[in-house]
């Protein structure tokens, strides 16, 4: 372990009766980075993050924070934003902040927190009457009341509209810029790509890929994707290009975009609706975890 490691997870196992939810995970989270934990539903992400948060006891394996096992004071030093959290009814935003703040020995100034999470406009509103984005910002502020060194965000933008999601990403970037360590789980690959310095993809309780997002893509893919309307598929019959139909579009993977475009032209395919895109984390995720129905 080196001194820059915030969280060190080794051979983590969690069994629930007959189910092996987590089956031997090991990874390090470096101080000051954003670490992404990705995986399909039921892969063991939530179980893993809850063990890292100190809320679930592992069946076996170890979790160390700054080289020490998670002790009773760990809860005072980390911040957690759950996937979905109910708050007490009839309390305003500022009352919720004051309440959670009072539970910690070390507290961040509420004024700072309000400015950071942009809560000024609805401080006196009943927390049940907030929009999705406002609510997530309040929950983030609650996770930050103790000025934590390590912050867990469990699917923080699920259900938010695109604008609210982008606002939330800006907040996360600010927190990271202030030197905090973040562990993030998400279903949105774009989110992981934009925010995370390092990711692991888990499936069936095990890590199936890990690394820096851009490097992972480079390792797994040396090609790009050309998308043309599916109706054009018959024209490709005689050409060297083969594609995979995906709904109304046909995806053609190719390492040589120029040659592929030339081949499309030669086959008489209309380029009016052609889209060329690099491989994304979503492609990698689907390739690694399969496309079976598993929600």
* CB 151, min distance to another protein, A: 12
Of the candidate residues 3, 41, 57, 86, the single one contacting another protein (CB under 8 A):
86
- Residues contacting 201, CB < 8 A, separation 6+: 38, 39, 207, 208, 209, 210, 284, 285, 288, 289
Under the binding rule (CB under 8 A), the answer on residue 169 touching another protein is no
Measure the CA–CA gap between 189 and 209, rounded to whole angstroms. 14
Under the binding rule (CB under 8 A), the answer on residue 110 touching another protein is no
**Pairing mode, if any, of strands 5-16 and 78-81?**
unpaired
* CB 75, min distance to another protein, A: 5
Contact set for another protein, span 42-81 (CB under 8 A): 53, 55, 75-76, 80
Bridge partners (DSSP) listed for residue 184? 36, 153
SS3 (DSSP) at 219 = helix
Of the candidate residues 95, 149, 223, 227, the single one contacting another protein (CB under 8 A):
95
SS3 (DSSP) at 98 = helix
Under the binding rule (CB under 8 A), the answer on residue 91 touching another protein is yes
**Region near another protein per CB under 8 A, out of 29-37, 103-111, 210-218, 278-286:** 103-111
**Region near another protein per CB under 8 A, out of 88-96, 163-171, 180-188, 236-244:** 88-96
Under the binding rule (CB under 8 A), the answer on residue 82 touching another protein is yes
DSSP for 230-260, please give it: GGGGGGGTTSS---EEETTEEEEEES-HHHH
Of the candidate residues 103, 240, 262, 266, the single one contacting another protein (CB under 8 A):
103
The number of beta carbons lying within 10 Å of the beta carbon of residue 14 is 22
Which residues contribute to the site for another protein (CB under 8 A)?
Answer: 53, 55, 75-76, 80, 82, 84-91, 95, 98-100, 102-105
């Amino acid at each position: 372990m080196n001194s820059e490691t915030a969280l060190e997870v080794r051979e983590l196992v969690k069994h629930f009766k007959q189910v092996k939810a987590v089956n031997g995970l090991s990874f390090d989270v470096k101080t000051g980075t954003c670490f992404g934990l990705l995986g399909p539903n039921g892969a063991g992400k939530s179980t893993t993050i809850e063990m890292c948060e100190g809320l679930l006891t592992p069946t076996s394996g170890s979790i160390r924070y700054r080289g020490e096992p998670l002790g009773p004071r760990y809860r005072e030093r980390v911040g957690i934003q759950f996937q979905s959290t109910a708050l007490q009814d009839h309390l305003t935003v500022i009352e919720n902040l004051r309440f959670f703040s009072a539970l910690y020995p070390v507290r961040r100034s509420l004024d700072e927190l309000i400015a950071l999470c942009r809560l000024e406009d609805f401080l006196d509103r009943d927390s049940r009457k907030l929009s999705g984005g406002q609510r997530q910002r309040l929950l983030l502020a609650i996770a930050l009341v103790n000025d934590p060194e390590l912050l867990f965000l469990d699917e923080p933008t699920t259900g938010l509209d695109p604008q609210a999601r982008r606002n939330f990403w800006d907040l996360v970037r600010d927190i990271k810029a202030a030197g905090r360590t973040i562990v993030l789980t998400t279903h949105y690959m774009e989110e992981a790509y934009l925010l995370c310095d390092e990711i692991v993809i888990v499936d069936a309780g095990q890590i199936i890929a890990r690394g820096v997002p851009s490097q992972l893509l480079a390792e797994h893919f040396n090609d790009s994707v050309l998308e043309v309307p599916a109706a054009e598929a018959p024209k490709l019959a005689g050409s060297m290009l083969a594609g995979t139909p995906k709904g109304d579009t046909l995806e053609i993977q190719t390492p040589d975009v120029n040659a592929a475009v030339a081949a499309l032209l030669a086959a008489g395919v209309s380029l009016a609706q052609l889209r060329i895109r690099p491989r994304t984390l979503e492609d990698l995720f689907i390739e690694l975890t399969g496309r079976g129905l598993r929600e």
